[in-house]
Amino acid sequence: MTLSVQPELKPHSIASSEIVEPLTEPLTIELLERIRLILRGGSIVDWFRLSFENREEVQRFLRVNGYDIRLARDLQRLRFMIERAATYLRNELDLLVHEYFRDSDDVVSLFLAASYRGSDIDLQARQRVACILLKVVHTINHFEARELRLNLPLRTVELFEVVEEQVMGHLNEMVATGFPISQHVSSRKSGRSTITKLLSKRRANATEILDRLRFRVIVEQIDDIPRVLAEMTQRFIPYNYVVPEESSNNILRFSEYLDRHEELRSLTKQLQFAINLESQAALSPVQNECSADEFRMINFVADIPVSVERVITRRHRAGVSQHGWLVYVAAEFQVFDQRTWEYNEQNSSASHEAYKGRQRQRVRTRLFDGLEALWSAQDD
């Protein structure tokens, strides 16, 4: 086939002179799609449409992904990946991408074309192919970043430092501009904790430990969570690189949140997938074996882009351009509302100490008694 187309909660404490009214603009369909993807651990590769409304939204999305199209080098890199994606589609899937997408220096138009929602048949066909093309660009970009990380002498601790600086800086700015965040902290999993986690999970290996770098964000009320998540994707989390099937959410029901807000209810029919999708068993998150049933948290992992030029010496910069200059650092994000956080801490079985105790017991059982004893313990 060949296609050719054209408890009483207290606000965060800041000086009164710095207080700014919280943002009250309604969430757009684009932001709702991002929130939904984060909460259920979906993949953008499964999407069939973007929802950008203007050039500024696209440019902001690209900046969060590490590209500033005002810079010639960044624009050239994006054009290179678009051409490579078009070649892949032609050679592997017999899909011919129109020259309009391949030759134009205006990469923003590709994202806007992938967001088209009108009734024009030709533009609908163009929207479909634009979306397919961007999915391949997304994959190529991530693959190239992986190759770059393997080819350069990068120290993980230095990459962690860059991500911590970026994320905490943005969270501080969000608090200062009125977002209802009562606590935000970063932490790193120690070597001892990592070993315990590896021993407690039968399928785990060191490359699959995705929570070595963690950020905890506590907001004031449950209904503050979507707006805070949306702003995080506008600043430092590329929602397109949220790790699929690594999200856990037993705090906020997405459909109920929309139903509680009249201004959002009308957007339900514009969502890409049916509103009952989250209830399907295939998308249910895998519960951590050591977590208590009473424990409540929103948890997800995202790959955060880092420019290697911030952490490599001049001697190694010559090899950067072949695979770009971005690498990705996996970071875990834990999100709570204040009341849920306090409940977890006060509930003996849901507390962090109780979790660590169950994890250590699981390691003891596995090391001393083996697999059969571990199964027996689960059955009990």
pLDDT at 207 over 90: no
Q: Are 25 and 84 in contact (CB under 8 A)?
A: no
Mean pLDDT of the chain: 82
pLDDT of residue 199: 62
Q: What does the pLDDT average to over 7-19?
A: 32
Higher pLDDT among residues 287 and 273, named by residue: 273
Distance from the first to the final alpha carbon of the chain? 56
pLDDT of residue 86: 93
Confidence band, pLDDT 50/70/90 cuts, at residue 9: very low
Q: Which of 52-56, 209-213, 241-245 has the lowest mean pLDDT?
A: 209-213
pLDDT at 256 over 50: yes
Residue 16 is given by DSSP the state G
pLDDT at 25 over 80: no
pLDDT at 343 over 50: yes
Confidence band, pLDDT 50/70/90 cuts, at residue 197: low
pLDDT of residue 177: 95
> In whole angstroms, how far apart are CA 376 and each of 365, 370, 372, 373?
10, 10, 6, 5
Q: Are 183 and 339 in contact (CB under 8 A)?
A: no
Q: What tens digit of pLDDT does each residue of 128-168 get?
A: 999 999 999 999 999 999 999 888 888 888 999 999 999 99
pLDDT at 263 over 80: yes
Confidence band, pLDDT 50/70/90 cuts, at residue 245: confident
Q: Where does residue 213 rank: exposed (0-12), middle (13-18), buried (19+ CB within 10 A)?
A: buried
Q: What tens digit of pLDDT does each residue of 91-115 get?
A: 999 998 877 777 677 899 999 999 9
pLDDT at 175 over 90: yes
Closest CA to 307 of 171, 162, 210, 170: 162
pLDDT at 47 over 80: yes
pLDDT of residue 242: 96
Q: What does the pLDDT average to over 37-41?
A: 93
Confidence band, pLDDT 50/70/90 cuts, at residue 170: very high
pLDDT of residue 17: 33
Backbone dihedral region for residue 324 (phi beyond 0: left; psi -120 to 50: alpha; all else: beta)? left
pLDDT of residue 198: 59
Q: What does the pLDDT average to over 285-308?
A: 78
> In whole angstroms, how far apart are CA 31 and each of 53, 168, 226, 271, 379?
11, 22, 9, 11, 42
Residue 114 is given by DSSP the state T
Q: Per-domain residue ranges for the chain? A: 26-379
Q: Are 23 and 175 in contact (CB under 8 A)?
A: no
pLDDT at 54 over 80: yes
Where helices occur in the chain by DSSP H, the ranges are: 29-40, 55-64, 72-93, 99-103, 108-113, 121-151, 156-176, 191-200, 225-235, 254-260, 262-265, 338-346, 352-379
Q: Which of 6-10, 60-64, 177-181, 288-292 has the lowest mean pLDDT?
A: 6-10
CA atoms within 13 A on the CB side of 80: 13
pLDDT of residue 284: 43
Place of tokens 């208590």: 292
Q: What does the pLDDT average to over 295-306?
A: 94
Query: What is the distance of C-alpha 317 from the center of its chain?
Result: 28
Higher pLDDT among residues 13 and 305, named by residue: 305
Q: Which of 2-16, 19-33, 154-168, 248-262 has the lowest mean pLDDT?
A: 2-16
Q: What is the pTM of this model?
A: 0.81
Backbone dihedral region for residue 16 (phi beyond 0: left; psi -120 to 50: alpha; all else: beta)? alpha
* Beta carbons within 8 Å of 143's beta carbon, 6+ residues apart: none
Q: Does domain 26-379 fall into CATH 3.30.460.10?
A: yes
